[in-house]
Structures are given as C-alpha cells and as structure tokens.
Structure 1
Amino acid sequence: MKINQNTVLQGKRVTLVPYTSAHVPRYHEWMRSEELQRLTASEPLTLEQEYEMQRSWREDADKCTFIVLDTERWSGQACADEDCMVGDVNLFLTDLEDPTLGEIEIMIAEPSYRGRGFGKEATLMMMSYGVTNLGITKFEAKIGQENEASICMFRKLHFKEVAVNSVFQEVTLRLDVSDQEKRWLLEQTNHVKEKSYTELKLPAVVLET
C-alpha cells in the first residue's frame, strides 16, 4: 500500500517500517521455517517470488504491511533494518462491500522475541494506524486453533471469538471499534512517534547540511 511507503512508527519495543526489497532476503529466510508456514498458513516461495510479492504488496491498495524492528537495536541507526527485523504486521482490506473492515495479522518470526510484548505493541500500533489513517472501524483476526499464544494476545486486546472453521482449523476473532475502544487504543499508542522513512535512511552527512 503506497500510503505507508514512507512511514515509520516508532514505539517503545518495536518500530514499524515499510516493507522494502532490502527486507526480502531475511523475510524469505524466515518463511523457509515449517513452523512459520504452519502458523501463518503459508506456502514456501522462491526468493524471486518473494521479491514479486513484496512489489505487489507495496502497490496493492488493499494490503498495508510493516516490517517489525527491535527499536532498541535500530534506534540511532545502530544497525541496518535487516539486522533488526523481528517480524511483520499486516492489514488486509479485502471486503469490497465494507472498506471499514480490516483483517489484521501479526508474526513475530524471531523466537527469542516471542512472549516479550513485541507482538502486542506492534498489533496495537497497526490498529491505531488503521483507525486514524485508513478509516478502519472493525478488525478481524484469523488464527490457527493451535496458536494459543496469538489467540490469547488478541483476547487481551478486547477481541471476541466469533467463528470457528473446523475445516481450516481456524478461529476468527473480531473487535468493533466503538468510541470507547478508540479512546483506549489511542491511549495505548500515545507514545508512538511517526517519522519519515526517507529522511531516516539518508546518509548522516546529508542530514547535517
């Protein structure tokens, strides 16, 4: 989605940056994992297919994607994006009859970052971005029944289970963003700073002039 191609959202634990070609090799490495393929219901792609997917997601109007970085490692440009990557978060606007409905996905691919609040903060940041920038008022999350940690996290974010698909062994959770929920969401993310990705990636000498 072009709307976020120059957007950086910096939180306490995580920083969200647009998905670029520089991130593809690391992402491709993650998705060779059978565990991640199972948890995300994904099929393995070749590296070239992964590059094509990245280009498509950047252009498609119904997909908003951010790469999740470790803020502590990344801040101050201590390391390149690809060396600070921990996962990704996505919003899919796939209901043509209801553009206010967004399907949200979160993946913390690096095992050492799971269970530490990175997924929760990234999800809250993406939800806040969806509400304030994309006009989203309803969120859905479709999660494999075996992924208890993810189901538990979404329930803590006020999502309610609305359906179970026994064929795909998938649970659908939903959150309708009332005025009260919106206030809560914005309070949870009032620390987030929005920055320009282009400016952050400029060489230091350019920033000084």
Structure 2
Amino acid sequence: MLLEGELVRLRALEPEDADRLHPWLHDPEVGRWMTNDHPLSLAQVRKRCEERAVNTYEKVVLGIVAKADDKLIGVIDLRDAVPEVGEAELDVYIGDAEFRGGGYGTEALRLMCRYGFNNMRLHQITLWVVAENEAARHVYRKIGFVEEGRHRESFVGLDGERHDMILMSMLKGELTW
C-alpha cells in the first residue's frame, strides 16, 4: 500500500523513527493543542517505537514523510475504527516546524481520509480540535469536515487553562481534493 501525493507519502512508523519523534514530544508548539503524556526519555520513546503494535483495522498509525528529502515530518492515525458502523477517529500533527503551513498536513489529511473511505470502507471520520486552534479548523473545513458540536472546557492546555473542544466529521463523499 503506497499513500503518496505531490508533497508527502504516508508510511508505517519504524523503530528508528524514535530519534525524530522524541524532540516533538517536548516541543511546546507541537504539544500546545494536544493531550500530552508525562515527559518521556529518548530510551522510553525508542522502546515504544520498538514495541509498537502492528497496524490493524482498529488503529492505523502512519508517519508523514516529505517527499522532497524523504524526511519524517509528522504522524497521522485513524483509531477506534468500528467496522460494524464504519466510523473512525483521526489525529494528526506536523512535528517538524519547517514543514508547518506549507500544505503538507493538508495533503496528509486528504490521503489518510481517502485511505479510510476507500480501503477501510469507512462511512464517517471524526476528529476533535481545540476551539482556539483556528488554523487546524480552517484546514479541516477546507478538505470537507463540518463542525457538529462543542464539548465545553474539556481540554486543559499546557498553561492549565480550559478550552472548548469542537467535534468535526466528514462522511464518505464529502472529501474535497
């Protein structure tokens, strides 16, 4: 399975990706709108990467690679997939600051959603986004996600402040390219 666009390709994560992933876990800009674990050492991240479960229908985790230099720049996943109802939840981040805002994340989202609808036969993909993360909300709307609801003060930011979360979804056939 090759998931490739003009800017990025998506591939399974490898144990050697730990050295790229580790700094992103401690980057306040990456973690600003994400639910974060406690700090992890490089050894702990390496162990997680080595012990990562294989991709299954229920959870597909892929690395986002910039095609121009074959560099891992982020991670995207479809998780909690339920075949009986054809739904899954999506998560994404671009960890490498050099590649934020250049269309890499947008293309990765489109590729992953297309994979979910075509290969996994999903009917709906959902995601949660912090209300103040307008840049992400703009990208999600641009590719076909619609806002469905608000979970008030359900996200605690790095500064301890509470923020609303927005539920967004896309149905098969709504993906815009």
Q: TM-score, normalised by structure 1?
A: 0.71
In structure 1, how many angstroms separate the alpha carbons of the residues matched to 2:63 and 2:165?
Answer: 24
- The number of aligned residues is 166
How far the C-alpha of 1:93 sits from its partner, in A, is 2.4
2:59 aligned residue: 63
Q: What root-mean-square deviation, in Å, do the aligned CA atoms of Structure 1 and Structure 2 show?
A: 2.1
Is the alpha carbon distance of 1:115 and 1:32 closer, same or farther for their aligned partners in structure 2, counting shifts above 3 Å? same
| Higher helix content, 1 or 2 | 1
Give the match's secondary structure for 2:105.
helix
How far the C-alpha of 1:48 sits from its partner, in A, is 3.9
Give the match's secondary structure for 2:118.
helix
Retained in 2: the 8 A contact 1:57–1:65? no
Which has the higher relative contact order, 1 or 2, with Cα contacts under 8 A spaced 6 or more apart? 1
Gapped regions of structure 2 (runs ≥ 5): 155-163
Pair 1:33 & 2:1 matched: no
In structure 2, how many angstroms separate the alpha carbons of the residues matched to 1:52 and 1:135?
Answer: 32
In structure 2, how many angstroms separate the alpha carbons of the residues matched to 1:87 and 1:108?
Answer: 4
Retained in 2: the 8 A contact 1:138–1:175? yes
How far the C-alpha of 1:120 sits from its partner, in A, is 0.7
2:150 aligned residue: 164
Retained in 1: the 8 A contact 2:57–2:81? no
Runs of 4+ in 1 over 4 A off after TM superposition: 94-97
In structure 2, how many angstroms separate the alpha carbons of the residues matched to 1:73 and 1:12?
Answer: 13
1:3 aligned residue: none
1:147 aligned residue: 133
How far the C-alpha of 1:59 sits from its partner, in A, is 5.3
1:50 aligned residue: 45
- Identity among equivalent positions (%) equals 23
How far the C-alpha of 1:30 sits from its partner, in A, is 0.9
| Higher strand content, 1 or 2 | 2
